[in-house]
Amino acid sequence: MSTTAGGSGSPIRVAVIGFGAAGMYFHSPFVAATPGLRLTTIVTSDAARAAQAQSEYPEVTIRAKAAELWTAGDVDLVIVAAPNVAHVPLAMAAIEAGIPVVVDKPLAVTSAEARRLVAFARDRNVPLAVYQNRRFDGDFQTMSALVREGTIGDPLRFESRFERWRLQPREGWRESGDPSQGGGLLMDLGSHLIDQATHLFGPVASVYAEVDRRRPGVAVDDDVFVALTHESGVRSHLWMSVLASQGGPRFRLLGSRASYVKFGMDPQEDALRDGRRPATDPGWGTEAPDRWGTVGAADDLRRVETAAGNYTRFYAGVEAALRTGAPMPVDPEDACRTLELIEAARRSAEIGQVVTIG
């Protein structure tokens, strides 16, 4: 099946399923900003979200049901930005129709479902990718470059945090729904933190975790610590919490020569929620110098400029893959392994012991 509709020069027509926070902020704006892609369809059954989508993207067709996509013949790429429990059935339906798919992390609710989906896509020869946008955060890109260049020497210990202060639980499946729906911080933010750690430092030999529910009325985990021991010997310590009244550094990477320490989140999410968009903001993803991290040892420290983050790079990679047959920017096998580590973390928390991988 040709994914370029009218030929190699024609835009790839994209449908986004779901217009909650994921579809509204993390997918649609970056599809619209990517040369070679054209956002043509948004699927939502919510009238208010449909009106908002139509207002921001006047030329887009709004559909109430995803099933309308499979036979319409006017979509070359589907993005699944629906709740986690809907990821696999929607992606399966798209693959059955022969339409390439990008699925928002965490790909599935279980690793078994994820592997079944990956196998189905492979057997049908339909491209599948997982949206791990945090690989394209500016601070993560900066830290990765410092590792590649040898600035910090041999990596020894990696600390990474997504911490917030939110005493009142939000309504909906992410915080108040049944755990089987795939909510909770380990599944949500842990998908990002574990992916970044394994992407940078490789396979994991063992996992230890503490997974807690701290706030009254919350049915899913809201305060989590995960320790990964990589086969390389690097130790990754990952925190995710909504009970951090004072947050620690976003990154703290200790090496044999120097360390990199960075406070504050990548600015893209806040910019999106403030109404800014990558297609119209010439300074997209850049940080002010007072937010840059430091690199060095003891008192010999220097500021290192944070690279500009841009999630459009993910979709540029998708566009290139669909046109040339190159690999997708995120291998779905990575998402399967991340889910396996999440499940190992849950087992570790249940038994209070380290869990060996493999």
CATH architecture classification, 12-131: 3-Layer(aba) Sandwich (3.40)
In this prediction, residue 3 carries a pLDDT of 46
pLDDT profile of the chain (358 residues), mean per 10: 54 98 97 98 97 97 96 96 96 98 97 98 98 98 98 98 91 71 92 98 98 91 97 98 96 98 97 96 97 97 98 98 97 98 97 96
Q: Which of 108, 140, 106, 92 is nearest to 264 (CA)?
A: 140
In this prediction, residue 28 carries a pLDDT of 98
Rg (CA), the chain: 20
pTM: 0.95
The sheet carrying 12-17 orders its strands as 61-63, 37-43, 12-17, 77-80, 101-104, 128-131
Q: Which of 155, 86, 132 is nearest to 337 (CA)?
A: 132
What are the sequence ranges of the domains in the chain? 12-131, 134-311+340-356
In this prediction, residue 310 carries a pLDDT of 97
In this prediction, residue 1 carries a pLDDT of 39
Q: What is the spatial distance between Cα 196 and Cα 192, in angstroms, rounded to a whole number?
A: 6
In this prediction, residue 8 carries a pLDDT of 64
In this prediction, residue 179 carries a pLDDT of 67
Helix, strand, coil distribution of the chain in percent, nearest 5: 35, 25, 40
Handedness of CA 228, 234, 235, 241 (dihedral sign): negative
Assigned CATH for 134-311+340-356: 3.30.360.10
